[in-house]
């Protein structure tokens, strides 16, 4: 009962806080909202991981930084935009468009401040995000071909992608798709090579259905290659996972 009561109290506290922050945000008191959240982060570091509060913070910073930039206060704008970079690692996977916007805005204000080295740094980061976004969309379009069973097209299109431009999830999809495509093309040695690499990217993921599919395809490949112990090993893993 005590634990349940504590959870309810935390939920009520979060709800009150969010309502207060949203009131400031709707009134365009972006700096006020931002400062309240930063104080909260300082006193309760775990709140940095609460996505709703994080998103209010991100939006408040974006609005406050843009206001400062519009007013010609480029130093303040730069300082606020840089606050967003505490979430840089998360945004590169979750919200690359937002991160791209931050880099571009930083490039603009830094160019006004004539900080050439920093300008080059953020221009390069923006280019890398664009490359990642394009590659992710290409992977998704190839995945649609994969679902439709167009394995020749999968192999053809996936071979032009630079694997280094992909995030961890898309690397997993890359190796899985090309491995299964080669399996259906009956090039079992190539299939095994790619499928075994794909396991690395999925082994710690909660989606066991994908891992089971990879194990089943590996079992099929090894059976075709007459490597029966390995074939049975992956068949067992597929049914016990």
Q: How does pLDDT run across 123-139, given as a tens digit for each residue?
A: 888 877 776 776 677 78
Alpha carbons 107 and 124: distance in angstroms, whole number: 10
Average pLDDT over residues 75-90: 86
pLDDT at residue 123, as a whole number:
83
Q: Encoding tokens for residue 109?
A: 């204000």
Check residues 48 and 236 and name the one with the higher pLDDT.
236
Alpha carbons 104 and 110: distance in angstroms, whole number: 10
Average pLDDT over residues 92-118: 81
pLDDT at residue 187, as a whole number:
94
Global model pTM greater than 0.85: no
Residue with tokens 């071909």: 145
CATH topology (fold) of 130-241: 1.25.40
pLDDT at residue 93, as a whole number:
57
- Lowest-confidence pick of 22-36, 105-119, 153-167, 180-194: 153-167
Domain ranges within the chain, ordered by starting residue = 9-94, 130-241
Is the pLDDT at 200 greater than 70, yes or no? yes
Q: CA separation (Å) from 56 to 38, 159, 180?
A: 11, 40, 42
- Lowest-confidence pick of 62-76, 84-98, 212-226: 84-98
pLDDT at residue 8, as a whole number:
34
When pLDDT is cut at 50, 70 and 90, the band that residue 95 belongs to is: low
Q: Encoding tokens for residue 34?
A: 């931002």
How deeply is 65 buried, as exposed, middle or buried, from its count of CB atoms within 10 A (0-12, 13-18, 19+)? Answer: buried
Is the pLDDT at 53 greater than 90, yes or no? no
When pLDDT is cut at 50, 70 and 90, the band that residue 96 belongs to is: low
What residues have CB less than 8 Å from 126, skipping those under 6 apart?
Answer: 100, 103, 104, 107
Q: What is the CA radius of gyration of the chain?
A: 24
**Are the CB atoms for 32 and 24 separated by under 8 Å?**
yes
């Amino acid at each position: 009962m005590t634990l349940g009561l504590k959870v309810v109290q935390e939920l009520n506290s979060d709800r009150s806080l969010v309502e207060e922050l949203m009131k400031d945000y709707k009134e365009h008191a972006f700096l006020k909202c931002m400062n309240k959240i930063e104080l909260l982060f300082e006193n309760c570091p775990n709140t940095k991981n609460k996505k709703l509060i994080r998103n209010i913070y991100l939006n408040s910073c974006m609005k406050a930084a843009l206001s400062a930039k519009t007013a010609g206060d480029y130093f303040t704008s730069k300082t606020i935009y840089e606050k967003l970079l505490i979430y840089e690692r998360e945004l590169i996977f979750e919200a690359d468009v937002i991160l791209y916007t931050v880099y571009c805005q930083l490039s603009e204000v830094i160019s006004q401040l004539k900080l050439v080295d920093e300008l080059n740094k953020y221009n390069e980061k923006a280019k890398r995000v664009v490359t990642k976004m394009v590659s992710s969309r290409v992977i998704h379009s190839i995945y649609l071909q994969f679902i439709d069973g167009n394995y020749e097209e999968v192999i053809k299109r996936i071979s032009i992608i630079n694997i280094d431009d992909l995030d961890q999830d898309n690397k997993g999809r890359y190796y899985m798709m090309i491995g299964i495509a080669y399996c259906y093309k009956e090039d079992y040695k190539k299939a095994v090579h790619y499928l075994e690499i794909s396991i690395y990217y999925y082994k710690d993921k909660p989606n066991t259905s994908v891992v089971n599919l990879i194990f089943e395809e590996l079992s099929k490949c090894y059976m075709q290659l007459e490597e029966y112990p390995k074939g049975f090993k992956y068949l067992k893993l597929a049914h016990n996972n």
